[in-house]
């Protein structure tokens, strides 16, 4: 079965270079009309130029595809709205949104400034919120939408010097978890990519031999799958160097403590049972945790 996007319109943010460029070109190769969005700034978000986005558009057009360049700053909702309106004016629909734009302001928490922290949150988290919000009603009305947010192992597992980046990247998981529920009846599916690639953001951080294997092109197939018609939803897919896996947030089965043991000392005494991996589950909604805890209590009290 061949996965294609003929008749579909895709917006890919931060697609002037690296991962975004790879995503945009491969979507176009498979028939999508693509908005190549890129502010054109440095890795730290400074500066700006439309040259990179225009160059990717030229590459797509040379391959026989259709694309337009856009320089909206994803952290500014008015600019994002204008980008989506430009897309609607040009092609009349938005089917695919890949939230890829990002910056780095790496410093240990004690040395980093709050201004840098807020800026990283604005670009990664609010940038994803802004772009998704601007497309949401369109996707609802056409009863079709495929959205990818870009998370990171820094958010899922932590990485020294990236408290700001990690916070933003875990934030998009919360966004995904809720929007997957709200979009389900409108055929809107949303998942998260946790990429490992040799880009401007990772250059100098990993050995040269490994860097050569971690090409953006080895990550993009994950995105192509997550924006296909038969895509999963509410899924975190990790990808890099041709390897693919799924990350999950799980919760231990837990235990109920009798009233006299509902103390910090009681928790300490029962910690092995509380934290046991036996019977772990992957809750699908926040309400499931509430129901589980109430169920444990009812069982412990002999009420069920």
Using the structure block, give the residue that is written with the tokens 């500066």. Answer: 47
Active site residue 157: no
CB 196 within 8 A of CB 239: yes
Cβ atoms within 10 Å of 14's Cβ, excluding its own: 29
Could you say which of 144, 165, 186, 225 is catalytic? 165
Residues annotated as catalytic are 165
């Amino acid at each position: 079965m061949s996965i294609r996007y003929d008749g579909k319109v895709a917006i890919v943010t931060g697609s002037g270079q690296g991962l975004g460029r790879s995503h945009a070109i491969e979507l176009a190769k498979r028939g999508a009309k693509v908005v190549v969005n890129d502010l054109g700034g440095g890795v730290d978000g400074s500066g700006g130029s439309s040259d990179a986005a225009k160059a990717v558009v030229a590459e797509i057009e040379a391959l026989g595809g259709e694309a337009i360049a856009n320089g909206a700053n994803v952290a500014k909702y008015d600019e994002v709205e204008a980008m989506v309106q430009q897309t609607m004016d040009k092609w009349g629909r938005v089917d695919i949104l890949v939230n890829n734009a990002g910056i780095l302001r790496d410093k240990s928490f004690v040395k980093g400034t709050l201004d840098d922290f807020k800026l990283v949150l604005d670009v990664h988290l609010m940038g994803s919120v802004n772009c998704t919000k601007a497309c949401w009603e369109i996707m609802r009305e056409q009863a079709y939408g495929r959205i990818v947010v870009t998370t990171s192992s820094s958010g899922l597992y932590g990485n020294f010097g990236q408290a700001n980046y990690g916070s933003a990247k875990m934030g998009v998981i919360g966004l995904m978890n809720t929007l997957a529920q709200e979009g389900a009846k409108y055929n809107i599916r949303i998942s998260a990519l946790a990429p490992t690639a040799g880009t401007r953001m990772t250059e100098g951080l990993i050995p040269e031999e490994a860097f050569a294997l971690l090409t953006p092109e080895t990550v993009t197939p994950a995105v192509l799958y997550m924006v296909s018609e038969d895509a999963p939803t509410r899924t975190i897919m990790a990808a890099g160097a041709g390897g693919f896996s799924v990350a999950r947030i799980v919760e231990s089965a837990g235990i109920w403590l009798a009233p006299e043991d509902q103390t910090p000392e009681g928790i300490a005494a029962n910690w092995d049972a509380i934290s046991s991996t036996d019977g772990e589950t992957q809750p699908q909604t926040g309400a499931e945790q509430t129901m589980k805890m109430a169920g444990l209590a009812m069982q412990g009290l002999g009420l069920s």
